[in-house]
Each structure stands twice: as C-alpha cells, then as structure tokens.
Amino acid sequence: WNASTDNVGVTGYEIYRGGTLVTTVTGTTHTDTGLSSNTAYTYTVRARDAAGNRSADSNSASATTSDGPGGGGNKVLGYFVQWGVYQRGYHVKNIDTSGSAAKMTHINYAFANTTGGRCTIGDSFADYEKSYSAAESVDGVADTWDQPLRGNFNQLRKLKKKYPNLKILFSIGGWTWSGGFTQAAANPTAFAESCYQMVEDPRWADVFDGIDIDWEYPNACGLTCDTSGFASFKNVMQAVRARFGQNNLVTAAITADGTNGGKIDAADYGGAAQYVDWYNVMTYDFFGAWAAQGPTAPHSPLTSYTGIPIAGFYSDNAIQKLKSKNIPASKLLLGIGFYGRGWTGVTQATPGGTATGPAPGTYEPGNEDYKVLKTRCPSTGTVAGTAYAFCGNQWWSYDTPATIGGKMTYSKNQGLGGAFFWELSGDTSNGELITALKNGLG
C-alpha cells in the first residue's frame, strides 16, 4: 500500500484480514502466512499514530490462495566452492558427514572461468588433480598416483554413487570470473561449444548433469562493467540451451536488484527464461560494509522496512519484479546466505547505526561464516524477515534457522521452485541451516 499522506505522526500500519487484526508493521508491505489453500481472503489497512489514533479503513484488496499446501517446489540447491579445500578445509566428504547431501537435490560446483569468452577450467589442482587420502575420501578409499581422475570431481563422483538422486551442475563465472562473458556475448555459439566440451569432458562427463551460468552482470557492472546490450544474456542462454539440449540442466544465477532501471531491467531475463530450467535469484548482499560508515542494514532482507538505505533493495521486490516479466514462479529459487556481513565501530543495537568500517572476518573483512557468528555474535533481533546481532562494537546480519524457516514459508506461498544457498562451508558441522531449509520446504 501507499504510505499515509499524513505520515508525520504515523508510527505503523494495522493489517486486517476479513476485519480481524493480523499484525502491525512499520513499513508498507506485509506477507501473510499460514493460510488455507484455495481460499479467498480480503485485506484492509489502517494507519496508526503514536497516540493510538487510527485512520479509516483503506480500500480492500482480495486474493485467492493456490490449490494445495504452499504450492511451491522443494529444490534444495547449494554451492560447493572449489577453494574450500584449501584454507577452509571443507571437502566433498563434509557434504556427506554433515548430513547435507541427504537433504540436497542439487549442487552447483563453483567455478569455471570465462577466459577469452570461453569456458575454461579455473583451478585444475582442486578440480581434478588433488590426491585424497582414505580419511578425506567420501568412500574411505585413497587416491592412487596413476588413477585418471582425482580432486573434487572424483569425490563428487563418489558422492553421487552414494546419493544417486543428487544432481550436480558446473557453475561458470561468479563475481571474480565474469569478465569473459562480454566476449562470450559476441559469439554465443562458440562460447556454448567451449562450455559443452569442458562440462562433457570424457574424464568427468558422468559427474555433471548440466551447467549454471553465473554472469555478474549482463549489460551492467559487477567487478567489471559489461555493455553488450539488453539482448546479450538471452542470446547466450539460447546458445547454451541449444548446445546442451533438453537432457541437461541449464540454469543461471541472476541479480536481485529489482529497482526501477536496475540490474534486472538491464538484461532480458524474461526472454531468456524459456531457455533455463530455473534461475537462482541472489537475494543476499543487498547491504554490507562496502558502505564503510553504514548505515548498518541486513544483507538479506525479505521485505522492506522503515529506514532501509536503498528503497527496493529487498528479496520480495526482486521476486515480484521477475514475476512481472512473465517468468514462472516455479523457475525462481530464493537465495539464502550461509554467512553474515558486519561492521565495527557501531554503538546502535538496532539497524541504521553508523560505523567506522568492516568488522574483522576470518577470510575477508566484513564477512564471516554462520557457524562462527552463531556463537561469537549471537542474534539479538530480527528485521525484515532476517536476523541481526550486536556484540561489543560490532553489528552483523545473517540468517538463522528461525529466519530461514520464515523465508521457506515465503518461498512456498509464492509458488517458487525452492531455494538455494551460498555456500556449504558456512554451515555448522551438523548442517543446521540446511536442515532448516529442507524442513521449511518439506
């Protein structure tokens, strides 16, 4: 709804369902949950001021829920990062021992590079050369010096043998390695052919069930800027689908910038949707300590809230924007971060405080795994469907099992295809977050 025109004294809005007060919110959106299937509901809103005075009822809005409980898909997809085998000490075996493999439907293996507008192996040692001992191996069998395939690819092969229904996609690009997509867009057919040859290399063709394109970002700026035009993403995805055919999965990780004229509007995601099995919508990293002085804000808000630093920078706005481009809800997966983003030099416990810079992180300033933050800086509050934590002079935001449960309810109510997360090594050793994700989707 629109904000009250007399908004000086307005402190919140009361949401009524069929004349019954449901909740009071400070923003101008509300996601209703716990509804019956195939049922019509009518809503009205009233503004309220600090003295408790209420406006007249707004005009009513009606909607009918879909048939069946939730109506959403239950894809549970997680990224496995090749560099996790180094400093992080996270190996394919950990996907099994944490209980995560049993709860996942898909794994995205990140990343291959886009050198010269072609798909190229990014780290051959981690991918297929590293030798695994019996203790580190999925099946307890050590690698030998003369076997044709070692590294993560061989461990993924062993994981698939143990979990035959698990599908694995090779992800191309990502934040660091998206630079070559500009050249790829100049010759999509050649790019698609190079990707097919890499993913379907005879040494590991059985490991992968498809390809995931992580272009950050078509016709917009990420680490570098691309100006290949509105149609470039659609053209690349069309070529990739044509080469990989219908028997392979073809997906893409895409921006969640749903602002008017923002990154979603910059490329033809609607037109490209016909060529993908689904989109992984990166509904995280909206805010972080790259804005060193703040204001502090949750990096993965589900909804808007009073004081949000950039209007429209929240997950639901991205999902609704993509739906408005005629992308089926079932082709959208909601993104969850298994990490937090934080600031230091903060004195305000609630969102919107000033800071002096990024909080210290194990691998990167302003970034820390959930498994560390849950005990080092436990959640002290929630905002916009996600959690935040204030400890000492640090302020962090991250998702917890409880907030993930809420987001999975949203995914089901929106009829989305499920959810995905970045990335496996951020979870606890017993897979606390992925358990919440799986249980939430059912």
Determine what percent of the chain falls in helix, strand and coil, rounding each to the nearest 5: 25, 25, 50
pLDDT confidence tier of residue 25, bands split at 50, 70 and 90: confident
Is 155 a domain residue?
Answer: yes
Do residue 108 and residue 60 come from a single domain?
A: no
Do residue 41 and residue 125 come from a single domain?
A: no
Is 205 a domain residue?
Answer: yes
Q: What is the pLDDT of residue 66?
A: 64
Q: Is the pTM of this model over 0.95?
A: no
Q: Which helix (H) or strand (E) holds 56?
A: none
Poorest-pLDDT segment among 61-70, 72-81, 180-189: 61-70
Q: Helix 232-244 to helix 188-199 angle, to the nearest 10 degrees? A: 40
Q: What is the pLDDT of residue 38?
A: 62
Residue 193 falls in the annotated catalytic set: no
Query: What CA–CA distance (Å, rounded) separates 276 from 254?
Result: 12
Do residue 94 and residue 43 come from a single domain?
A: no
Query: What CA–CA distance (Å, rounded) separates 244 from 178?
Result: 20
Q: What is the pLDDT of residues 256-305, one digit of tens each?
A: 999 999 999 999 999 999 999 999 999 999 999 999 999 999 999 999 99
Residue that is written with structure tokens 């999902």 in the block: 319
As a whole-number percent, the residues of the chain with pLDDT over 70 amount to 97
Task: Tell me the one-letter amino acid at 92.
Answer: V
3-state secondary structure 270-301: HHHHHHCCEEEECCCCCCCCCCCCCCCCCCCC
- Is the per-residue pLDDT at 37 higher than 60? no
Q: What is the pLDDT of residue 71?
A: 57
- Considering 136, 200, 216, 368, which one is annotated as catalytic? 216
Is 2 a domain residue?
Answer: no
Q: What is the pLDDT of residues 69-102, one digit of tens each?
A: 345 899 999 999 999 999 999 999 999 999 999 9
Q: What is the pLDDT of residues 110-155, one digit of tens each?
A: 999 999 999 999 999 999 999 999 999 999 999 999 999 999 999 9
- Is the per-residue pLDDT at 441 higher than 90? yes
Q: Choose one of 64, 85, 100: the last residue of a domain.
A: 64
Sequence length of the chain is: 442
Assess contact for 352 and 296: CB atoms under 8 A: yes
User: How many domains does the chain contain in total?
Assistant: 2
Q: What is the pLDDT of residue 52?
A: 84
Give me the residues paired with residue 391 across strands: 394
Do residue 170 and residue 90 come from a single domain?
A: yes
Do residue 410 and residue 268 come from a single domain?
A: yes
Do residue 305 and residue 432 come from a single domain?
A: yes
- Containing structural domain, residue 46: 10-64
Strand pairing of 106-112 and 210-214?
unpaired
Q: Which two tokens stand for residue 269?
A: 């995601």
Q: What is the pLDDT of residues 224-255, one digit of tens each?
A: 999 999 999 999 999 999 999 999 999 999 99
Q: Helix 432-441 to helix 401-413 angle, to the nearest 10 degrees? A: 30
Query: What CA–CA distance (Å, rounded) separates 238 from 245?
Result: 10
- Is the per-residue pLDDT at 34 higher than 70? no
Is 394 a domain residue?
Answer: no
